[in-house]
Chain A
Amino acid sequence: MKAGVPISSALLSSLLVTVWLAMAPGHAALATEAAVVPAGNAGRVLTDMAEFLAAAPAFDVTVKASHDAVQADGTHLEFSAQRRVKLARPDRLRIESRDSDGTVDIVTFDGRTLSSLRPAAGVYAQTGFTGDVDGAIVHFVRDLRMRLPLAMLLLTKLPDELNRRVTTLAYVEKTAIDEHPVHHIAGTTDSVDFQVWIRDGREPVPVRVVITYRGAAGQPCFRADLVDWQFAAPSDNTAFDFVPPPQARRIAFLNQVQTIAANPGESAR
């Protein structure tokens, strides 16, 4: 990432303000008025993407992800997962994920309750949380200690998060993915290197993300292709309702029980 240029908070902030003013009439206006971003302006491209997602009242996207898992002997194994994310602001979220080993998890939030279901195991965990999707995601990741890759992209405060985290940014090239022109952006935060390919045009969505954990052993990568973006409001909210299967048992999230230490001798059991 040495080719990247330092990007100051002030610069990103000014970019955000500029783009926000241009988009002030609302998201629909954004979709119709946003011009093709000139190649070479990495900050503008990234800001456009962040503002576009943050302002979207609803979206539906499929995330085809994979990650490197560094083994004890240093070798890399790649595991994959596919997630269908349905988000309807302010307070509806559903994420259905299927890992490469077939494990399915379904996370739902309906504005009052946050639930996670693993159908094959016949168990679910649930906690009350009143608020919006932003709050639910933060609670899910920070307090419940659950995993939600690319969670930042789901937040309305995505522009602020990027503004706060990005330390360098570079425009790599204009290229194409699935025959759509895209901007290839590379950047760094304090702890990771990232690349994002953002669609050129009226809907500047991220279509590919690669994150490299440069400080971790083996420098593993996370990769994701984001496909089938849809922005129509859901016709009904039943998709966000949590309906546990019959006989499903409720178990605990980490923060709902007090785990205790075993005696040292018990560890060998």
Chain B
Amino acid sequence: MKRAQLSVAALVATTVFASGFVAEVQAAGRLAGAAPMSRGGAIHRGGPAAGGSFAARDRGQGAQRQDSIAERQEDRREDWQDHRDEVREDRQDFIEDELDGDRDWDRDDDWGEVIVAGAVIAGTAAVVGAAAASTRHVYYNTLPCTATTLIVGGITYFRCGSIWYSQIYAANGISYAMVQAPPGY
């Protein structure tokens, strides 16, 4: 009788072990065939929550209110930009595009906590600012040319022919961007 009990126990244990093993094998099989996450894109580290801000652009609930805020801001921006030249306008576009726009522009005295999208630079370059095809700004992980290094006003610039680059220290990392030639060049 005792032997029979042991046999039953052994059988149960073997069955549990075997079923676990089979489950693992099946899981491994599924893992082997699993599709890659974020297909076609790099891992994205940023987004609205990365900033830890108490303000964010609301794209779902409250979107209407945010639209109103955006419109007011746009009005102010247009007035403001009337006094700027085209290059300045491009830069503004760049900032608007680069930043995810998650900010609180609710009131004029608001200091506008900003959350940066943390745009990941995939490969050599990433395009930022696709809203207008004529005003695309490009980030580079590495310089796309063999550059001459100059220090102007304490800041390091890189020159490739007539094109100037500068490294930018921004919320989403350090990268190279095409910039206006520094003063005097």
Assembly CA distance A253 to B61 (angstroms): 34
- Distance of B36 from chain A, by nearest CB (Å): 9
Contact of B121 with A by CB under 8 A = no
Within 8 A of B (CB), among A212-269: 213-217, 220-222, 224, 249-254, 256-264, 266-267, 269
Within the complex, which residue of B58, B61, B91 is in contact with A258, where a contact is CB–CB below 8 Å?
A: B91
A121 adjacent to chain B (CB < 8 Å): yes
Is there an interface contact between A123 and B62, defined as CB atoms closer than 8 Å?
no
- Residues of chain B within 8 A of A266, CB atoms compared: 136, 138
Contact A261 B90 (CB under 8 A): yes
A180 at the interface (CB under 8 A from B): no
Tell me whether A116 and B49 are in contact in the complex, defined as CB-CB below 8 angstroms, given that A250-B156, A261-B137 are known contacts. no
> A259-B91, A261-B90 known; A253 and B45 CB under 8 Å?
no
Which B residues are in CB contact (< 8 Å) with A24?
none
**A261-B136, A269-B125 given as contacts; is B57 within 8 A of A191 (CB)?**
yes
- Which B72-130 residues sit within 8 Å CB-CB of chain A? 87-88, 90-91, 93-95, 98-99, 102, 104, 106-107, 111-116, 118, 124-125, 127, 129
CA of A65 to CA of B168, assembled, Å: 25
Which stretch from A38-46, A88-96, A140-148 is at the chain B interface?
A140-148
Contact residue among A69, A116, A263 (Cβ-Cβ distance under 8 Å from B50): A69
CB-based contact A251/B168 at 8 Å: yes
Kindly state whether residue B133 has any CB partner on chain A within 8 Å.
yes
Min CB–CB distance B103 → chain A (angstroms): 8
Q: Which residue of A lies closest to B135 (CB)?
A: A261
A112 on the interface (CB 8 Å rule)? Answer: no
Bound complex: CA A263 to CA B129 (Å): 12
Q: How far is the CB of A232 from chain B (nearest CB, A)?
A: 26
Assess whether B41 is in contact with A71, with CB atoms less than 8 Å apart.
Answer: yes
In the complex, what's the smallest C-beta–C-beta distance from B14 to chain A, in angstroms?
A: 38
Cβ–Cβ contact B169 & A260, under 8 A: no
Chain B residues whose C-beta falls within 8 Å of the C-beta of A146 in the assembled complex: 169-171
Interface size on B, residues (CB 8 A): 74
CB interface residues, A 154-169, toward B, < 8 Å: 161, 164-165
User: Which residues in window 1-34 of B have CB below 8 A to A?
Assistant: none
Q: A124-B169, A145-B170, A269-B138 are in contact. Are A192 and B124 (CB under 8 A)?
A: no
Residues in B neighbouring A258, C-beta threshold 8 A: 87-88, 91, 179-180
Q: Give every chain A residue within 8 A of B136 (Cβ-Cβ).
A: 261-264, 266-267
Partner of B179, one of A69, A71, A259: A259
Question: Is A267 touching B127 in the complex (CB atoms < 8 A)?
Answer: yes
Within 8 A of B (CB), among A69-99: 69-73, 75, 77, 79
CB neighbours of B125 from chain A (8 A): 267, 269
**B137 neighbours in A (Cβ, 8 Å):** 259-262
Complex Cα–Cα for A64 and B14 (A): 45
Produce 1/0 per residue, A15-39, CB < 8 A to B.
0000000000000000000000000
CB within 8 Å for A216 and B56 given contacts A67-B50, A147-B171, A250-B156: yes
Residue from A138, A151, A214, A224 within 8 A of B60 (CB atoms): A214
Q: A170 near B: Cβ within 8 Å?
A: no
Most buried by B among A65, A147, A224, A269: A147
Which residues from chain B contact A250 at a C-beta distance below 8 Å?
A: 154-156
With contacts A213-B49, A258-B87, A262-B178 taken as known, whether A138 is within 8 angstroms of B58 at the C-beta atoms is no
Contacts of A101 in B (CB 8 A): 45
Q: Complex: how many Å from CA A149 to CA B166?
A: 26
In the complex, what distance in Å separates the CA atom of A189 from the CA atom of B104?
A: 11
A104 interface residue (CB < 8 Å to B): no
Least CB separation from A83: chain B residue: B52
- B54 part of interface (Cβ distance < 8 Å): yes
With A67-B47, A145-B114, A145-B171 given, is the CB distance from A189 to B55 under 8 Å? yes
Mind listing 22 A-B residue pairs with CB under 8 Å?
A69-B50, A71-B43, A141-B113, A145-B114, A145-B170, A147-B50, A150-B52, A161-B54, A190-B58, A192-B53, A209-B52, A211-B54, A216-B60, A221-B49, A250-B155, A251-B166, A252-B166, A252-B169, A253-B168, A257-B180, A259-B94, A267-B136
